[in-house]
Homo-oligomer: A and B are copies of this chain.
């Protein structure tokens, strides 16, 4: 007792066995619910365990079984509500199946992600759930399969790595969002994202036989790749001459306002904006208000990500809502199946997005520049 309160090492199977008067192996069987033990002995062992306050040492168990009942999850930034929701979904599934989650933030840096993976593998996680920092850097993930561990990607895909993935139907969602604007009469539609992709998008565009826009090589984020592709496809189908003219990648967080202002008031004279996420949307919303324009009368604004605030502004913002939580949950389910033996070929699962139409889309207004300032 005093030993216990002094923070000493807790009781072990050997201690329990000694108190119960049986062999270590027997006590272990009774405690671990494996192998055959007579009812009488089991009870005796359990009583002994209770008396000593025995708590199984999972580290030791992992040591001999090679299984840790732990899953590694690597997200860009847990503060990002999308990742937080996906993590919650994964956590609930993992929890129900008896797994724990080791969380790492990559900060969207492939190098940081690489070390995070290394650390997690060292800790002998049974599998990994990853929102890839870059869809282009397949080399980050080979150590995982080399170590014989399964990995499931979520939210994003890695182009040249054969692994299960669960993503949202961004291409369809983007097409839908663009269509809403097109239907309202817009032709000058901008898309703003913070994705930092070095090379210009235009030169990589490839239009396939169905008139669908693809990129080669793909964009650094498969999400943005799908969205730009979907928007471009929709615009071109509607006969818009240069579908990629108003795509703005690589916006800096504190430069979004300026980017938006330029798009609206500059030569581009855009009449509507698609924000790639709610952070961009909020900056765009403020920028539009700051230059004295009104939504949807002067400018239409739509966005990905059904953030709480989009329903509370006046007007509410038309958005695409993402199945974030289910993304994480499904990825976790798939991963656990693989951990427990499933060896079917990897497939990419695509979860539908929903459009939530609110009041931020109206007909385009003729060039505004003159009336401003």
Question: Is the C-beta of A63 less than 8 angstroms from some C-beta in chain B?
Answer: yes
Q: Which residues of B contact A185 (CB under 8 A)?
A: none
Q: Which residues of B contact A148 (CB under 8 A)?
A: 6-8
Closest to A81 in B: B81
Question: Is the C-beta of A308 less than 8 angstroms from some C-beta in chain B?
Answer: yes
**Cβ-closest 7 pairs across A and B:** A7-B148, A309-B309, A84-B84, A58-B122, A58-B123, A79-B88, A103-B103
25 contacts between A and B (CB under 8 A): A7-B148, A8-B148, A9-B66, A55-B118, A58-B122, A59-B62, A59-B123, A77-B88, A78-B91, A79-B85, A81-B81, A81-B84, A91-B103, A91-B105, A100-B120, A101-B102, A102-B103, A278-B308, A279-B308, A282-B312, A307-B308, A307-B309, A308-B309, A309-B312, A314-B314
Copies in the complex: 2
Contact A147 to B7, CB < 8 A, known contacts A88-B105, A103-B101: yes
Question: Is the C-beta of A57 less than 8 angstroms from some C-beta in chain B?
Answer: yes
Contact A146 to B59, CB < 8 A, known contacts A77-B88, A314-B314: no
How far does the Cβ of A125 sit from chain B's closest Cβ, in whole Å?
10
C-alpha gap A88/B84 in the complex (Å)? 10
Closest to A124 in B: B59
Inter-chain contact A63/B60, CB cutoff 8 Å: yes
C-alpha gap A282/B79 in the complex (Å)? 20
Q: Which residues of B contact A9 (CB under 8 A)?
A: 66
Inter-chain contact B102/A100, CB cutoff 8 Å: yes
How far does the Cβ of A82 sit from chain B's closest Cβ, in whole Å?
10
Question: Is the C-beta of A21 less than 8 angstroms from some C-beta in chain B?
Answer: no
Closest to A57 in B: B124
Contact A84 to B91, CB < 8 A, known contacts A100-B104, A312-B286: no
Question: Is the C-beta of A87 less than 8 angstroms from some C-beta in chain B?
Answer: yes
Closest to A285 in B: B312
C-alpha gap A7/B143 in the complex (Å)? 10
Question: Is the C-beta of A5 less than 8 angstroms from some C-beta in chain B?
Answer: yes
Q: Which residues of B contact A85 (CB under 8 A)?
A: 79
C-alpha gap A316/B312 in the complex (Å)? 11
Q: Which residues of B contact A59 (CB under 8 A)?
A: 59, 62-63, 68, 123-124
C-alpha gap A62/B285 in the complex (Å)? 51
How far does the Cβ of A134 sit from chain B's closest Cβ, in whole Å?
20
Contact A121 to B55, CB < 8 A, known contacts A5-B146, A63-B60, A286-B312: yes
Contact bitstring A28-72, B, C-beta under 8 A = 1, else 0: 000000000000000000000000010111111011001010100
Q: Which residues of B contact A77 (CB under 8 A)?
A: 88
Question: Is the C-beta of A4 less than 8 angstroms from some C-beta in chain B?
Answer: yes
Question: Is the C-beta of A313 less than 8 angstroms from some C-beta in chain B?
Answer: yes
C-alpha gap A77/B78 in the complex (Å)? 12
Q: Which residues of B contact A104 (CB under 8 A)?
A: 91, 95, 100-101
Inter-chain contact A4/B146, CB cutoff 8 Å: yes
Q: Which residues of B contact A105 (CB under 8 A)?
A: 88, 91-92, 95
Question: Among the interface residues A6, A91, A143, which one has the most CB atoms of the partner chain B within 10 A?
Answer: A91
Q: Which residues of B contact A312 (CB under 8 A)?
A: 282, 285-286, 309, 313
Question: Is the C-beta of A18 less than 8 angstroms from some C-beta in chain B?
Answer: no
C-alpha gap A318/B279 in the complex (Å)? 20
Contact bitstring A155-178, B, C-beta under 8 A = 1, else 0: 000000000000000000000000
C-alpha gap A314/B123 in the complex (Å)? 50
Q: Which residues of B contact A346 (CB under 8 A)?
A: none
How far does the Cβ of A267 sit from chain B's closest Cβ, in whole Å?
28
